């Protein structure tokens, strides 16, 4: 039995360039006056796209049901210059600039960037399972009493990649409901 291990920058770069695991792929961490994105020592910092950003709320209902999600629960927020305004105590959905093709023996876990965490912004992205493909829908919560700027085309979360012995059933094998996500927010669904 093989043990799982976290991938380093050399391994991530190899998979990104030969297996198209990350498109577009930035070979180094971009840090000049921005919230960093690109390849780091043991991960990859992804960017928030400027194509789609939606706030959950403003609905006529008093509840949200993930099994019967009402599209009227969300509304689009327009890009202001190079950022979105996330109101206090609100929750938004965005999408990654990058698309992903996760290998069959790999899983990725996302963590929020410390720059946003220190401002009271919580980033949540569910795992990128073996053979999952597409753009990530990114969940963003403002836990503060103040509106916060969320910058487009800059870092939003870091992905950590782990490899191990290939699983019996990949996300593609079971026809996962969030497979091949487009470069737009994908709302909750139950099939």
CATH number of residue 141's parent domain = 2.70.40.10
Q: Is residue 184 part of a domain?
A: no
Range of the domain at 22: 5-163
Summarised one tens digit per residue, pLDDT across range 71-120 is 777 878 888 889 999 999 999 999 999 999 999 999 999 999 999 999 99
- What number of helices (H) and strands (E) belong to the chain? 2, 12
State the catalytic residues. 139
Summarised one tens digit per residue, pLDDT across range 7-30 is 999 999 999 999 999 999 999 999
Residue pair 12/20 in contact (Cβ under 8 Å)? The answer is no
Distance CA 75, CA 48 (A): 17
Q: Is residue 49 part of a domain?
A: yes
Q: Is residue 168 part of a domain?
A: no
Q: Is residue 81 part of a domain?
A: yes
Q: For the chain, how many structural domains are there in total?
A: 1
């Amino acid at each position: 039995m093989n043990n799982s291990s976290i991938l380093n920058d050399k391994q991530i770069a190899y998979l990104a360039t030969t297996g198209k695991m990350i498109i577009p792929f930035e070979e180094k961490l971009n840090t000049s006056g921005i919230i960093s994105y690109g390849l780091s020592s043991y991960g990859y910092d992804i960017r928030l796209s400027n194509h789609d950003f939606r706030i959950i709320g403003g609905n006529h209902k008093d509840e949200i049901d993930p099994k019967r999600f009402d599209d009227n629960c969300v509304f689009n927020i327009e890009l202001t210059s190079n950022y979105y305004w996330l109101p206090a105590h609100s929750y938004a959905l965005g999408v990654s600039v990058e698309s992903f093709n996760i290998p069959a023996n790999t899983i990725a876990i996302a963590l929020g960037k410390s720059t946003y965490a220190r401002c009271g912004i919580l980033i949540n992205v569910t795992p990128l399972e073996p053979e999952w493909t597409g753009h990530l829908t990114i969940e963003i919560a403002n836990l503060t009493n103040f509106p916060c700027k969320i910058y487009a085309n800059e870092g939003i979360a870091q992905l950590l990649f782990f490899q191990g012995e290939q699983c019996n059933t990949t996300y593609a094998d079971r026809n996962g409901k969030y497979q091949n996500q487009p470069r737009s927010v994908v709302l909750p669904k139950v099939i």
